[in-house]
Amino acid sequence: MRAIIVDNNFAAWRAAALGAISECLPPEAIEWRVAESSDAFQGQLACGFGVEMGVTGKAATAGEADTTTGTVRPTPAVHVSKELAALLKDAASFRDPQRWAFLYKVLWRWHNGDRSVASPADADGARLYRMAKSVRRAQHDMIAYVRFRQQSQADAVPEYIAWYEPAHDVLPWAAEHFAERMGRSSWLIATPHGAAFWDGQHLHLDERRALPADHACDTPDAAEALWLAYYRSTFNPARLNETALEQHMPVRFWKGLPEGRLIPDMISQARSGARRLAQASSVGALNGKLVAVEAEAAQPARELPTSLDACRRCDLWRNATQAVGGFGPQNARIMLIGEQPGDQEDLSGEPFVGPAGQLLDVAITRAGLKRAELYLTNAVKHFKWEPRGKRRLHKTPGQREVEACSYWLEEELRRVRPDVIVTLGATALHALLGKQASLRDYLDEPFDVVDGRAVATYHPSFALRQQNDASRDQILGEISAALERARELARAIAAKSTEAGAPAKRRPQK
Ligand code: URA
């Protein structure tokens, strides 16, 4: 058994491993030991972390130092792939006393033609991948979680100090990273296994200068105070997700991070009720004057549906073919309001085209009116129905649906501005009045509504439902009488306007 003593770094191991291969020493014939005064870092930097064992087709540099004998001998040509070279280099930072023996075993197998050793399907290959992965993770963590603090004296060197406990020997790698990014500012990163010092121009790594934990963390600087205030202010206890938080910032890092020290307290506050108050206390403490706002005005502005077809103010749209809007001249003097589209209106998209519409046509003609001069609409614009065999049976709309749809009726009233409105049936009367009312109470006399007069009568389908012709004729007669009254009223209003010199019919507002 040969003992090979190396410094605890990749460059030293690499040189020794190439020497052992040149002597054809199998792994089981070597005992790898780390030198007492081993320098884990200098060798890594000297190696530049870019040195490979010898990329495929290219021999490793000749003349490596033999740390066992101190002599210089030519190194053999050991060809490794780029991938394996990178894996070996990363795995070399894995903190494990057996790492050098293991890496030599991998190199030996590869050198002797066993390429499976570089595959994750191989037991050694899998171990190598795991080690390299773990080291890369530690490198990432160190970049993410090192926090520098500025020294309080203006001319202090180093100006910034950080304490960090890396999971593997990744300090040299991270130190190079920070040296590239922190310009000429001097800094020191202390770890339990050594320190890295950047004087603004050169990087010094010293594993013997291991500092005690917390050396650098006692004196928060002004930037840190600002950072902590910011961190605390962005924390929303109502949205705390402890699992996600711990995944993003593992608990083992908390003690090394200034903000990590805030987290347990913030979590406990969130658990004990702050969730409910969320940021109310901090928002409430802000200076400013109170502005009284009506609850309705405080609601976010919601876009109104731009077209009847897009209306979702109630659920009737779900089972209807389409919305059926009003139909007729935009400056009609008389507006007729029915209840809701029926089966045929739902299919055609026009009001009063089915049986009730045909009966209404008879009443209109009897009243001396023409359908073409009237504006016909409904209180509810979607067909409400229930299935009965193959038929869709009309279902009376509920109060909620009438109220939801009043938005559209009011829009039509504003747009057409009829002189006289005729409500057909109880639902239409309810929609016009904006309240439940007994149709019987309104049947006989015209009544005032905002900006006009109104006449209430039966719905033509009420006539259709009558059991005999006489009753049907009677109801039909009452509807046409109501329409006649509406015609007379409209004529009177028009005459009055003409006398007063006003235009016969107010033009609809554009
Ligand atoms: N009944 C109504 O109330 N309106 C129509 O459009 C059709 C039938």
DSSP codes, 149-204:
EE-SSTT-SSSEEEE---SSS-HHHHHHHHHHHSTT--EEEEETTEEEEE-SS-EE
Ligand 1 atom nearest 428 alpha carbon: 3
The listed range with the strongest mean pLDDT (47-51, 186-190, 209-213, 483-487) is: 483-487
CA distance 17 to 77: 12
Instruction: Count other C-beta atoms under 10 Å from residue 120's C-beta.
Output: 11
Mean pLDDT of all residues in 134-139: 95
Ligand 1 centroid to Cα of residue 376, in Å, is 9
Ligand 1 atom nearest 324 alpha carbon: 6
CA distance 56 to 191: 37
Mean pLDDT of all residues in 347-367: 96
Given a cut of 80, whether residue 27 has pLDDT beyond it is yes
The listed range with the strongest mean pLDDT (181-190, 247-256, 371-380) is: 371-380
pLDDT for residue 398: 94
Ligand 1 centroid to Cα of residue 340, in Å, is 5
Site to substitute for ligand 1 among 459, 465, 479, most atoms within 8 A of C-beta: 459
- Quick one: pLDDT band at residue 415, thresholds 50, 70, 90? very high
Given a cut of 60, whether residue 359 has pLDDT beyond it is yes
- Quick one: pLDDT band at residue 356, thresholds 50, 70, 90? very high
Given a cut of 80, whether residue 53 has pLDDT beyond it is no
Given a cut of 90, whether residue 112 has pLDDT beyond it is yes
pLDDT for residue 266: 79
Return the half-sphere exposure (C-beta side, CA atoms, 13 A cut-off) of residue 43: 23
Peptide bond before 158: cis, by omega within 30 degrees of 0?
yes
Ligand 1 atom nearest 356 alpha carbon: 8
Given a cut of 60, whether residue 73 has pLDDT beyond it is no
pLDDT for residue 37: 65
Given a cut of 50, whether residue 328 has pLDDT beyond it is yes
- Quick one: pLDDT band at residue 140, thresholds 50, 70, 90? very high
Walk me through the domains of the chain, giving residue ranges and CATH numbers. 2-140 (no CATH), 146-206 (no CATH), 222-280 (no CATH), 308-499 (3.40.470.10)
Least confident stretch, 78-87, 303-312, 421-430, 441-450:
303-312
C-alpha distance from residue 290 to each of 176, 278, 282, 293 (Å) = 54, 20, 15, 9
List 190's β-bridge partners, or say none: 163, 195
pLDDT for residue 54: 42
Side chain identity at residue 146, one-letter code = V
CA distance 252 to 165: 10
Residues 6+ away with beta carbon under 8 Å from 455: 420, 421, 422, 423, 446, 447, 482, 483, 485, 486, 489
Ligand 1 centroid to Cα of residue 351, in Å, is 6
Mean pLDDT of all residues in 343-353: 94
CA distance 236 to 274: 9
**Three-state secondary structure call for residue 2:** strand
- Quick one: pLDDT band at residue 51, thresholds 50, 70, 90? very low
Site to substitute for ligand 1 among 308, 321, 344, 345, most atoms within 8 A of C-beta: 345
Which one has a higher pLDDT value, 324 or 252? 324
For 203-238, write each residue's pLDDT tens digit: 988 765 545 444 444 556 666 777 777 777 777 777
Which amino acids bring their CB within 6 angstroms of ligand 1? 338-342, 345, 351-352, 354, 356-357, 378, 461
- Quick one: pLDDT band at residue 126, thresholds 50, 70, 90? very high
Which one has a higher pLDDT value, 210 or 75? 75
Ligand 1 centroid to Cα of residue 352, in Å, is 5
Q: By the 8 A CB rule, do 60 and 80 touch?
A: no
pLDDT for residue 473: 96
pLDDT for residue 353: 96
> For 452, left (φ over 0), alpha (ψ -120 to 50), or beta?
left
Ligand 1 centroid to Cα of residue 473, in Å, is 19
Residue positions counted in the chain? 510
Ligand 1 atom nearest 339 alpha carbon: 3
Ligand 1 atom nearest 424 alpha carbon: 3
Ligand 1 centroid to Cα of residue 472, in Å, is 17
- Quick one: pLDDT band at residue 305, thresholds 50, 70, 90? low
Report the mean per-residue pLDDT for the chain: 83
Mean pLDDT of all residues in 7-23: 92
Ligand 1 centroid to Cα of residue 361, in Å, is 12
Residues 6+ away with beta carbon under 8 Å from 394: 340, 342, 343, 383, 384, 385, 461
Q: By the 8 A CB rule, do 106 and 92 touch?
A: no
Query: Is pTM beyond 0.75 here?
Result: no
Say if residue 347 is exposed, middle or buried (CB neighbours under 10 Å; 0-12, 13-18, 19+): middle
Ligand 1 centroid to Cα of residue 282, in Å, is 58
Least confident stretch, 19-23, 304-308, 399-403, 433-437:
304-308
CA distance 490 to 497: 11
Least confident stretch, 76-85, 308-317, 392-401, 475-484:
76-85
Q: By the 8 A CB rule, do 238 and 278 touch?
A: yes
Mean pLDDT of all residues in 414-439: 95
- Quick one: pLDDT band at residue 47, thresholds 50, 70, 90? very low
Given a cut of 90, whether residue 294 has pLDDT beyond it is no
Cα 227 to the center of its chain, rounded Å: 25
> For 127, left (φ over 0), alpha (ψ -120 to 50), or beta?
alpha
Ligand 1 atom nearest 338 alpha carbon: 3
pLDDT for residue 49: 28
Ligand 1 centroid to Cα of residue 422, in Å, is 14
Of the chain, the percentage scoring pLDDT greater than 70 comes to: 80
CA distance 134 to 145: 16
Residues 6+ away with beta carbon under 8 Å from 212: none
Which one has a higher pLDDT value, 56 or 327? 327
For 436-445, write each residue's pLDDT tens digit: 999 999 998 9
Of the chain, the percentage scoring pLDDT greater than 90 comes to: 55
CA distance 477 to 473: 6
Helix (H) or strand (E) run with residue 386 in it: strand 385-388
pLDDT for residue 65: 44
Least confident stretch, 150-159, 343-352, 385-394, 452-461:
150-159
CA distance 160 to 164: 13
Ligand 1 atom nearest 352 alpha carbon: 6
Tokens at 468, concatenated: 């005999």
